[in-house]
Structure 1
Amino acid sequence: MPTKNNKEIYNERLIESSIENVYHAFSNPDQLKEWWGPEDFTNTIHEFDLRPGGKWLLTMHGPNNINYENASVFKTIKPLQLVSWSRLTKPIFDMEIEFQKVSDYETQISFRMIFESASDCEKIRAFVGPKNEENFDRLEKELSKVKV
């Protein structure tokens, strides 16, 4: 996993779908709520203002009947390329999702979580890395429903 330093958690996946479909799965909150987060989580998206300075407010409902409130503010929006945000609720980190067209029917997607300190990153690295992979699994399942 190509991380720039010990303050980052990085996951990537080659998805068998067009970059337009992969980006739409993120940029459309109705579709995003179906796959965002680890396996067995559901989502309620309260606000999703995909523009620099826009808010993303959601509640992730865990399989343990615990709700996890998430608040973020978008920083960078480059359609079909990059979306980044700063998370305002704990754990605090910046997130970058990069979309790269590999072919007409393949897209490389990556998650880069950037923490303020290496110790903050290490506290959740072992847990988050595998959960990001579950997130990609759910994205692939969601995209399998999309007719091209």
Structure 2
Amino acid sequence: MTTDEQTADREIVLSRIVNGPRRLVFKAFTEVRHLAQWWGPDGFTTTTRAFAFREGGDWDFTMHGPDGTDFPNWITFREIVAPERIRLVHGTFKDDPERFDQVITFTDLGERTDLEMRTVFPTKAHKDLVVEQYGAVEGGRQTLGRLAAYIEKEGEI
């Protein structure tokens, strides 16, 4: 998925260099035991109801905010090219009409990984809503920060 004039106003692109080899950073996305340690912004926890990391598989989970608010989530994995890319659809529930597309790209930098999360929303208004109401950009940055800290702390997962 590349930015073009048709999607630029509907996109959020976040990236971070993670101190860990690509295979390790990719692995942190593949199992619930890892995701539970870092997924979500600072102060959030995640409860998983179902997880199948395979093309066509689903991740049904709830993110719990530090104020006690629950945020239901549903991800369907559309494409998995290990350890390079994960393409998914993310919404509040399966087949959510306001779901968005996301591609996570892992670029090998030796002992570091350039991780990019490119999200395309169905409309500019929906993107603006999640940025303003849910703090999606800052929350995404915090999530990538938690991932980086998890990789650095755990070393080999």
TM over 0.5: yes
Root mean square deviation, CA, Å: 1.6
* Greater mean alpha carbon deviation, residues 116-125 or residues 7-16: 116-125
Give structure 1 stretches of 5+ with no counterpart: none
Partner of 2:43: 40
**3-state SS, counterpart of residue 129 of structure 1:** helix
Corresponding position: 1:12 with 2:15: yes
Q: Which residue of 2 aligns with 1:110?
A: 116
Moved more, 132-141 or 90-99: 90-99
Contact (CA 8 Å) 2:31, 2:53: kept in 1 or not?
no
Q: In 2, distance between residues paired with 1:128 and 1:68?
A: 13
Tell me which amino acid in the other structure corresponds to 1:117.
T
Aligned-partner Cα distance in 1 for 2:121–2:87: 13
| Matched positions, count | 146
What percent of counterpart residues are identical? 27
1:145 corresponds in structure 2 to: 153
* 1:99 correspondence with 2:106: yes
| Structure 2 unaligned blocks of 5 or more | none
Q: Distance in 2 between the 1:96 and 1:76 partners?
A: 9
Q: 2: CA distance between counterparts of 1:147 and 1:115?
A: 34
User: What is the rounded CA distance, in whole Å, between the counterparts of 1:147 and 1:109 in structure 2?
Assistant: 17
Deviates more, 1:17-26 or 1:120-129: 120-129
Q: How far apart are the structure 2 equivalents of 1:88 and 1:115?
A: 10
SS in 1 for 2:80: strand
Give the CA deviation at 1:92.
Answer: 2.0
Moved more, 125-134 or 59-68: 125-134
Matched, 1:136 2:139: no
Pairwise CA distance, 1:44: 1.0
Tell me by how many angstroms 1:86 deviates. 1.1
Query: What TM-score do you get using the length of structure 1 for normalisation?
Result: 0.91
SS of 2:105's partner is strand
